[in-house]
Amino acid sequence: MVLTLTQGTLGLASGSLVGFSLGLVGGGGSILAVPLLVYLVGVSSPHVAIGTSAIAVAASAAANLANHARAGNMKWLCALVFTAAGIVGAFLGSSVGKAVDGQTLLALFAIIMMVVSVLMLRGRNSVGEPSVKLSRENFPKLVGFGLAAGALSGFFGIGGGFLIVPALIMASGMPILNAVASSLVAVTAFGLTAAANYAYSGLVDWTLAAVFIAGGVLGGLLGARSAKALAGRKGALNTIFAALIFAVAVYMLVRSLGLA
């Protein structure tokens, strides 16, 4: 795909929005990236959009990870155990996802997003335990949830923050700010795993990915600062996270089913 000036500008703006989302709620990146690339930038193939968004979101997540690490929001050992298990799942899931029709992927993805948004709203007032650490009790949960989240992330070709944040909370009981920060380790790793698998099949537009990444770095700086400010308001991040997921899910489902 040869980018026009308009497409490059739209790609940069879309990347900024995705980066802001990743910095703010640790997810929503690929959820936003794929429909933006298909419906706004004009990428004709859903699989190319998925492969391109995977590398772009992984890079944006890595940049946002540095911001959260400097702020002291990370739960490193929990994140690394979760991520290691998830990489295996991401490779297997992405291998299967490449063989599925692109519009079917988007429709299934939208349905899962709706379910997750409802689950997040149910737990919007959960405070969590700030002192949580890796233990014998939460280790098996982190491995199990990590493997499952990685498989789903790889299947849909996404970073998977919308799955990873609630999975980390359920597995360890950590507060949402720590889950948002720690999820970026897995978002980065899962995105790179899926992107490598798609790139092997020639399904990544590297020029567009570079433009997207540049926008993502800028948007991520603002998103991370906003997340820190909102953390003091009980349930605010959970509510924003769930609302974002549900709104984009409705849009994607309508478009993928040809209703608009």
46: helix, coil or strand? helix
Express each pLDDT in 155-198 by its tens digit.
Answer: 877 777 777 888 899 899 999 889 988 998 998 999 899 889 99
173: helix, coil or strand? coil
What is the rounded average pLDDT for all residues in the chain? 84
* Res. 124: pLDDT tops 80: no
For the chain, the domains span: 5-256
pLDDT for the residue 126: 58
Could you tell me the pTM of the whole model? 0.78
pLDDT for the residue 120: 66
DSSP assignment of 186-242 equals HHHHHHHHHHHHHHHTT---HHHHHHHHHHHHHHHHHHHHHHHHHTTSTTHHHHHHH
Which tokens hold the place of 189?
Answer: 């790793």
Which tokens hold the place of 201?
Answer: 């099949």
pLDDT band at 25 (very low <50, low <70, confident <90, very high): low
| d(C-alpha 156, C-alpha 150), whole Å | 10
| d(C-alpha 8, C-alpha 20), whole Å | 18
pLDDT for the residue 91: 93
Amino acid of residue 255: R
Q: How many CB atoms lie within 10 A of CB 80?
A: 17
163: helix, coil or strand? helix
| Least confident window among 25-29, 188-192, 203-207 | 25-29
Express each pLDDT in 63-119 by its tens digit.
Answer: 778 878 888 899 999 999 999 999 999 999 999 988 888 778 778 878 877 877 776
| 120 backbone φψ class: left, alpha, beta (φ>0; ψ -120 to 50) | alpha
| d(C-alpha 28, C-alpha 247), whole Å | 11
| d(C-alpha 156, C-alpha 60), whole Å | 18
What proportion of the chain, given as a percentage, has pLDDT over 70? 90
260: helix, coil or strand? coil
pLDDT for the residue 177: 85
pLDDT for the residue 17: 85
pLDDT for the residue 38: 85
pLDDT for the residue 235: 66
Express each pLDDT in 135-160 by its tens digit.
Answer: 999 999 999 999 999 998 888 777 77
pLDDT band at 209 (very low <50, low <70, confident <90, very high): very high
